[in-house]
Amino acid sequence: AQTVTQSQPEMSVQEAETVTLSCTYDTSENNYYLFWYKQPPSRQMILVIRQEAYKQQNATENRFSVNFQKAAKSFSLKISDSQLGDTAMYFCAFMKASGTYKYIFGTGTRLKVLA
């Protein structure tokens, strides 16, 4: 069975600094997708970044980048130049690429950006 683990329930970072959120997963699948979602206090779930497991290159979206280590089953999110608006819950999610549908979310990391 697939699992997604976010071992940091809470983190804080000073504005303009860099922070890394960790995510590990367990699967026997070879092809899959990984996502990071942001949930601000408004509760809206916002897609931050997506990674296909078959791609070796790490995905990047502006200030957000991932460090995808397939062998280690690790998918960390790096936020550079943190902004107050980055304060939110961040969820890591795993989706199978074939077979029966499986979309599994981690329990989230609460990130607070400090002024």
Partner 1 sequence: DTAVSQTPKYLVTQMGNDKSIKCEQNLGHDTMYWYKQDSKKFLKIMFSYNNKELIINETVPNRFSPKSPDKAHLNLHINSLELGDSAVYFCASSQGSLLGDTQYFGPGTRLTVL
Q: Which amino acid is at 14?
A: Q
- Binding of residue 64 to partner 1 (CB under 8 A): no
What's the token pair of residue 49? 């970044």
- Binding of residue 47 to partner 1 (CB under 8 A): yes
Residue placing its CB nearer to partner 1 in the complex, 15 or 26: 26
DSSP 37-76: EEE-TT---EEEEEEETT--SPPEETTEEEEEETTTTEEE
Size of the site for partner 1 (CB under 8 A): 25
- Binding of residue 5 to partner 1 (CB under 8 A): no
State in angstroms the smallest separation of the CB of 16 from partner 1: 27
Rounded Cα distance between 25 and 11, Å, is 20
- Binding of residue 96 to partner 1 (CB under 8 A): yes
Q: Largest alpha-carbon pair distance within the chain?
A: 46
> Which of 42, 56, 71, 115 touches partner 1 (CB under 8 A)?
42
Report, in angstroms and rounded to the nearest whole number, the Rg of the chain calculated over CA atoms. Answer: 14
Binding positions for partner 1, rule: CB under 8 A: 32-33, 35, 37, 42-47, 50, 52, 89, 91, 93, 95-99, 101, 103, 105, 107-108
